[in-house]
Structures are given as C-alpha cells and as structure tokens.
C-alpha cells in the first residue's frame, strides 16, 4: 500500500471544547504549563511515546511526534462553550484538580479563556442549571449559531485548522431512533425541535457541517448515529467516540483480556466508585448514570467473548456503581472485586483499589485526540476513526463490526495505522520471519552482537 502524502501541520490549531469544567481546565492548564517547561505531559502518547519501525534488529524507534506530522503544543489555541461563564482559571480553581500554586504561573493564560454561551437543555442534564445559554426558536437555528461561533473563533484566534472534543456533562440515556437514521431526517428533526436531538448532537452537527473533526468524550450518543456518520463521510470529516477510557475501565480492558488469554473463568466482577466532582453530581441523576453504566458495562462482554466461551464467561455477575461523595472532589476511588476460577473450578479473587484522579487521566487523552484527529483530517481520513478506539470506553465502529476493547489490541491498531499512513511496514509481532526463512525476512539478519563479552566488559568497568 502506498503511503498517503500527509501535509505538514502549518499554523495554529484551534481546539474547541463544548463543556469547560474539570477535564477542559486541567487540559488547558497542563498544556500551558508544559509550554513553559513547568509540567510534563505524562499520559500523552503524542508527546512521550516512541513507535517501533521495521525489524527488531534495526533498532528504529522515533518519537511518534517525530514520525507523523503533528501540531506542536505551541500551536494550540483554546476556546469553547459552557453554561457557566467561569474563565478557565475560575473553572480550574473550582474543580480543584491542580492547586493554586501549581496553576499560578499560567493564571493570565487561563483567565483569558472564557466560555461562549452554551446550547443547553436541562431535560438532558437534569442536575445542572444554566447561567448562560443560547436562545432560538428551533434546534436548527441553535446549530447555525454554533456554526457562526466556530467561524468567528477561527478568525479571531488566527487558527488555520480546528478540532472539537465534547467535554460536556453526560446526557440522559437515549436509543438511536428514526430521526437519527439519515442526514435528511436529522435536519428535519432539528427544524421541528425533535426531543431525540440533545445539545451534544447539535454541537457535533455544527462541527461536521463546518468541516471540523469531532470526538465525544462522554457516553451519550452525540455523533454515534447514522445521520452524523453519513454527514462526516460526505464532508470528509474524521469523527470518534465515545467516553474517555481513563481509570476503572482502562484496568478492565487490561485485565479481562488477560483472563481470557489464560482461559481463566470469571464468576463475578463488582465495580464501585466514589467521586465528588461536578461530573459525579451529574451522574447522581439516574438518567445520566444509565448512559455511563451502559458504557462501563459493555466492555467485559466484548473482551470475554462469552458466545465463544460459554463455560468460562456465559454466566458471570457484573455490577457497576458510581456514588457521588463530595469530600473526594476529583480524586476518585474505584474498587473492583473480581471472582475468578481456575483448574478444577477452584475459586480465586483479585482486588483492585485505584486511587486515581479523573481529570489527570482524561486530559492527556483529550490532547492526543485533538492532535490525532487533526492528523487524520490532513491525511484525508473521514468518518469513524476506529484506530482511535484506544482512547474510548465505547468505541464507535461500523455497525457490522464488533468494536475492539482490548487495550493492547487497540494500541496495536493505532500504531499500525500510523505506520500504514507513513508507508512503513505493519508489525504483526509473530516474529516467525526471524527464525523460519520461508516466512520471509526482507533483509538478512546482521551478525549477532557479542552479548557475553560486552556484558563482561561493562561489569569490569
Ligand atoms: N474525567 C474522566 O476521567 C472522564 C472519563 C470519561 C468520561 N468523562 C466525561 O467527560 C465529561 C467532562 O468531565 P468533567 O469531569 O470535566 O465534568 P465537569 O462537570 O467538570 O465539566 C463538564 C462541563 O460541561 C458543562 N456542560 C454541560 N452541558 C453542556 C452543554 N450542553 N454545553 C456546554 N457545556 C455543557 C458543564 O457546565 C460543566 O462545566 C463528562 O461527561 C464525563 O462523564 C470524564
């Protein structure tokens, strides 16, 4: 396959964020601190990870950001919408993820970023009340207002390109319906104020209509409907979602594939969380919790493939709880109790106690999605970007394909996509070609290195 010619990332990249609370303010603060050399972008693959190229003996492993043409942190400019008019400084202070002392060096930069009035409707996020929101007779007109905001932001910020990532609250649970089936039905629904169209879909529609790549960090449907996938393909816009894969679910998609790989049976998995941030308050409403619960529950079935292994995974008990507990703020605590069984059905247990920080885990995911979606657009990719499943709890995939949940398969999918994009060989990790010539090693292996003598020498030194 011949590589795509990916144009360089020239000029500023505008990052538009509907929802400017804990995750957004932590992302922006971290980027501004990193630009000044005052923080490390830990957790971000685009900033820190290398990618292996070619055969193992070639020892080629450039940084991802040097291998593919990504925008630099210094090129990013931020904007967005919220129902609260708090600047990013005020939002960060309220969220309490980073301390005032940590944030002080970037106070000026954070104070300068103030949210635009949101498209909001309390029917979809019941535990919040808007202090600023757009008004219009129809949802179509609201979308037009967002499209105008996008164009204005591009002009005033001097951005060459834009990306949008939904970091807004989790909306109530909703199933896809007729109004979501086609672009025509969706636009009709916007004009007739269909209750099946929540604000997150209005932002997604506005982004895709404006040619702006869109990702959804929450579990609500947003762009995961046929109408918006169709519009994205038609307009050449990359999209991705849903729900950032940060703490407990990341651990699940590491551990469940390990159990399956070793053919250990699962009898039950009980997961509970306490958290006290605004996200926790929103999830205290049963409608929003249901959306999150669906997203968190789906990963185990998918990782374990119960249909193929009914004896091992056909009848396990799975429970997920999230409890709003204000004293903890953003410092979420997750417990998992896992009952498994092994040889001769003997029972065993695994316990995980993850004392994490929600927004600290989410911020680098948003940064990577921004940079990779911008890359995807320049590479000419459009529609669902399944190679970005790595970042999501409920990865969007073509309807006839089961989404991939295993974190390491997702990682391989992503790195191989980058290799393909740049015309490098896909790595299948079988390693057979190093030992069995008929499986074709394109280059003869060089003479082996004198390990023993070198080791002795370094010991003597
Ligand atoms: N932090 C994590 O680990 C994590 C992981 C997965 C998903 N998420 C999701 O990411 C989202 C953001 O998380 P957070 O911790 O920053 O929450 P947050 O409550 O601090 O911020 C969300 C913001 O969205 C705003 N908002 C709600 N509806 C809006 C609308 N229609 N338009 C514009 N703004 C709107 C709220 O006012 C709030 O300021 C949530 O949906 C959360 O479930 C977070």
The ligand 1 atom at the shortest distance from the C-alpha of residue 281 is 19
Domain final position from 312, 330, 355:
355
> 151-195: per-residue pLDDT in tens?
999 999 999 999 999 999 999 889 999 999 999 999 999 999 999
Q: What is the mean pLDDT of the chain?
A: 92
Nearest CA to ligand 1 atom 11: 167
**This prediction's pTM:** 0.93
The ligand 1 atom at the shortest distance from the C-alpha of residue 86 is 39
Q: How far apart are CA 224 and CA 239, in angstroms?
A: 9
Indicate the pLDDT class of residue 444, thresholds 50, 70 and 90: low
336 and 366 in a common domain: no
Q: How far is CA 53 from CA 77, 418, 445, in A?
A: 32, 10, 15
Q: Ligand 1 centre from 215 Cα, in Å?
A: 13
- In the numeric block, which tokens belong to residue 224? 């995961």
Residue 259 placed within a domain = yes
Domain final position from 355, 380, 409:
355
CATH number of the CATH domain containing 400: 3.40.50.720
Q: How far apart are CA 178 and CA 379, in angstroms?
A: 33
219 and 258 in a common domain: no
- Find where tokens 């000044």 sit: 36
Q: Is 300 in the pocket of ligand 1 (CB under 6 A)?
A: no
Q: Ligand 1 centre from 429 Cα, in Å?
A: 38
Q: Ligand 1 centre from 236 Cα, in Å?
A: 27
Indicate the pLDDT class of residue 317, thresholds 50, 70 and 90: very high
300 and 255 in a common domain: yes
113 and 23 in a common domain: yes
Q: Is 19 in the pocket of ligand 1 (CB under 6 A)?
A: yes
- 8 Å CB contact between 41 and 191: no
Provide the pLDDT for residue 458. 43
Q: Is 242 in the pocket of ligand 1 (CB under 6 A)?
A: no
Residue 443 placed within a domain = no
Q: Is 406 in the pocket of ligand 1 (CB under 6 A)?
A: no
Q: How far apart are CA 185 and CA 192, in angstroms?
A: 10
Question: Per the omega criterion (within 30 degrees of 0), is the bond before 242 cis?
Answer: yes
**CA–centroid distance for 355 within its chain:** 20
> 23-79: per-residue pLDDT in tens?
999 999 999 999 999 999 999 999 999 999 998 899 999 999 999 999 999 999 999
Q: What is the largest CA-CA distance in the chain?
A: 81
Pocket test for ligand 1, best of 16, 17, 19, 97 (most atoms within 8 A of CB): 19
- In the numeric block, which tokens belong to residue 113? 């970023």
Give mean pLDDT, residues 143-149.
98
213 and 169 in a common domain: yes
Which residue, among 244, 243, 195, 206, has the nearest Cα to 228 in the 3D structure?
206
Q: Domain residues for 349? A: 248-355
Which residue, among 172, 218, 264, has the nearest Cα to 391 in the 3D structure?
218
Residue 350 placed within a domain = yes
- In the numeric block, which tokens belong to residue 453? 């003598």
- 8 Å CB contact between 411 and 420: no
75 and 210 in a common domain: yes
Which residue, among 194, 399, 193, 352, has the nearest Cα to 258 in the 3D structure?
352
282 and 402 in a common domain: no
119 and 56 in a common domain: yes
Q: Is 363 in the pocket of ligand 1 (CB under 6 A)?
A: no
Q: Ligand 1 centre from 278 Cα, in Å?
A: 8
- 329 Cβ neighbours under 8 A, 6+ residues apart: 95, 96, 97, 275, 276, 277
257 and 207 in a common domain: no
Indicate the pLDDT class of residue 433, thresholds 50, 70 and 90: confident
Indicate the pLDDT class of residue 429, thresholds 50, 70 and 90: confident
Distance, first Cα to last Cα, the chain? 48
50 and 105 in a common domain: yes
- Find where tokens 């929600």 sit: 358
Residue 448 placed within a domain = no
- 8 Å CB contact between 87 and 107: no
Dihedral class, residue 19 (left if φ above 0, else alpha if ψ from -120 to 50, else beta): left
- In the numeric block, which tokens belong to residue 178? 């007729």
Domain count, the chain: 2
Q: How far is CA 101 from CA 92, 96, 109, 122, 318, in A?
A: 12, 11, 15, 35, 42
CATH number of the CATH domain containing 314: 3.30.360.10
Provide the pLDDT for residue 459. 44
């Amino acid at each position: 396959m011949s590589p795509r010619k990916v144009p360089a990332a020239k000029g500023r990249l505008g990052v538009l964020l509907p929802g400017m609370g804990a995750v957004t303010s932590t992302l922006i603060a971290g980027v501004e601190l990193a630009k000044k050399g005052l923080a490390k972008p830990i957790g971000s693959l685009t900033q820190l990870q290398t990618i292996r190229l070619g055969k193992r003996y070639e020892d080629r492993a450039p940084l991802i950001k040097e291998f593919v043409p990504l925008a630099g942190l210094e090129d990013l400019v931020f904007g967005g919408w919220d129902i609260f008019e708090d600047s990013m400084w005020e939002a960060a202070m309220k969220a309490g993820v980073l301390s005032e002392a940590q944030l002080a060096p970037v106070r000026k930069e954070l104070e300068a970023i103030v949210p635009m009035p949101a498209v909001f409707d309390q029917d979809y996020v019941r535990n919040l009340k808007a202090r600023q929101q757009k008004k219009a007779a129809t949802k179509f007109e609201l979308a037009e207002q967002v499209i105008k905001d996008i164009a204005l932001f591009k002009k005033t910020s001097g951005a060459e390109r834009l990306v949008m990532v939904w970091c807004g609250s989790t909306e109530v649970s909703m199933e896809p319906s007729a109004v979501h089936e086609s672009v025509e039905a969706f636009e009709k629904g916007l004009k007739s104020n269909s209750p099946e169209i929540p604000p997150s879909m209005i932002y997604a529609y506005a982004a895709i209509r404006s040619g702006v790549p869109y990702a959804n960090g929450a579990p609500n449907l947003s762009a995961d409907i046929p109408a918006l996938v169709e519009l994205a393909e038609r307009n050449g816009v990359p999209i991705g979602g849903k729900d950032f894969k940060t703490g407990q679910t990341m651990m699940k998609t590491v551990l469940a594939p390990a159990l399956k790989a070793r053919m250990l049976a699962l009898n039950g998995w009980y997961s509970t969380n306490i958290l006290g941030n605004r996200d926790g308050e929103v999830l205290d409403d049963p409608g929003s919790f249901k959306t999150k619960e669906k997203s968190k529950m789906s990963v185990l079935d998918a990782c374990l493939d119960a249909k193929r292994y009914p004896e091992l995974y056909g009848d396990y008990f799975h429970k997920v709880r999230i409890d709003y507990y204000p004293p903890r703020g953003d410092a979420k605590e997750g417990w998992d109790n896992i009952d498994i069984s092994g040889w001769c059905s003997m029972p065993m247990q695994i316990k995980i106690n993850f004392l994490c920080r929600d927004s600290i885990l989410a911020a680098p995911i948003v940064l990577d999605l921004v940079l990779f979606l911008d890359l995807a657009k320049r590479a000419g990719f459009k529609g669902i970007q399944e190679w970005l499943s790595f970042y999501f709890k409920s990865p969007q995939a073509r309807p006839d394909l089961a989404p991939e949940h295993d974190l390491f398969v997702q990682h391989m999918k992503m790195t191989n996509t980058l290799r393909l994009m740049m015309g490098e060989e896909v790595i299948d990790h079988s390693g057979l070609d190093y030992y069995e010539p008929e499986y074709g090693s394109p280059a003869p292996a060089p003479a082996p290195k004198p390990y023993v003598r070198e080791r002795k020498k370094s010991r003597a030194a």
